[in-house]
């Protein structure tokens, strides 16, 4: 089916978040090392970004590396960091060609220095692009982000800059790494696993969750289009009843 033709452009999610899962299992099924799966997932990143930009999605956030991923075998972590550097360097031209701006969230300054340098350079070289924003979640976890926000707010209360009574959802939002973007309306996870794995815990409170059996390296433009078309068939009530929406 041509899923792209099924999409209602007037009801697009502004922000789509993706947990890119299944690289290791995909590699194993192909008789290759896990790192081969990560390398093969780069094409899926490119196709997802291009597909989202083509239909008019404004933000795509990809869960690229969690704070928990440091617990993986050292050779795999090292390979992932090397892949990140080479991918960032190689994709700048494609991002600019498609008018896509790159941003990143997470504890970025604690990335390896070479990775941080390549990341900041890629962000700088694409900052003028306006068609869509591609956000990489690197050295990121939802609990880390919320804890960090709490620390910032506590420091402001202690300094007398804000009163405890002023703390509300909006104030917390302002201290999150995603403060400059809307919450994701759609969260996609590949590989068949049905969990959110510490990703955007505050922001996905009312997101539609879609779990796809396909491994990430096999994810293509048609899959993103199908996910958006599926999202548009769901009723988003935000605590209300169906009758109230009507």
Residues 56-111 pLDDT 10s: 999 999 999 999 999 999 989 999 999 999 999 999 999 999 999 999 999 999 99
Give the pLDDT of residue 231.
Answer: 98
Residues 157-197 pLDDT 10s: 999 999 999 999 999 999 999 999 999 999 999 999 999 99
Please give the radius of gyration of the chain, using alpha carbons only, rounded to the nearest integer.
Answer: 19
Give the pLDDT of residue 245.
Answer: 64
Residues 212-233 pLDDT 10s: 999 999 999 999 999 999 999 9
Which member of 2, 8, 23, 69 is catalytic? 69
Average pLDDT, the chain: 95
Q: Verify whether residue 21 is a known catalytic residue.
A: yes
Residues 1-48 pLDDT 10s: 799 999 999 999 999 999 999 999 999 999 999 999 999 999 999 999
Calculate what percentage of the chain has a pLDDT beyond 70: 97
Q: Verify whether residue 218 is a known catalytic residue.
A: no
Which member of 2, 8, 21, 98 is catalytic? 21
Cα–Cα dist 221/167, whole Å: 41
């Amino acid at each position: 089916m041509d899923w792209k033709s099924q999409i209602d452009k007037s009801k697009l999610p502004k922000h789509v978040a993706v947990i890119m899962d299944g690289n290791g299992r995909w590699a194993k099924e192909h008789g290759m090392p896990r790192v081969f799966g990560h390398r093969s997932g780069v094409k899926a990143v490119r196709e997802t970004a291009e597909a989202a930009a083509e239909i008019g999605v404004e933000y795509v956030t990809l869960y690229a590396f969690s704070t928990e991923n440091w617990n993986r075998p050292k050779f795999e972590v090292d390979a992932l960091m090397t892949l990140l550097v080479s991918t960032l360097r190689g994709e700048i031209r494609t991002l600019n060609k498609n008018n896509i701006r790159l941003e990143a969230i997470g504890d970025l300054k604690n990335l390896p220095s070479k990775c941080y340098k390549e990341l900041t350079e890629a962000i700088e070289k694409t900052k003028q692009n306006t068609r869509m924003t591609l956000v990489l979640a690197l050295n990121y976890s939802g609990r880390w982000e919320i804890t960090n926000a709490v620390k910032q707010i506590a420091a402001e209360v202690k300094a007398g800059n804000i009163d405890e009574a002023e703390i509300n959802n909006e104030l917390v939002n302002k201290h999150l790494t995603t403060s400059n973007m809307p919450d994701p309306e759609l969260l996609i996870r590949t590989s068949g696993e049905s969990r959110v794995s510490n990703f955007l815990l505050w922001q996905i409170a009312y997101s539609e969750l879609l779990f796809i059996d396909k491994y990430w390296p096999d994810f293509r433009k048609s899959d993103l289009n199908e996910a958006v078309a599926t999202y548009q068939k769901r009723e988003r009530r935000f605590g209300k009843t169906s009758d109230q929406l009507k």
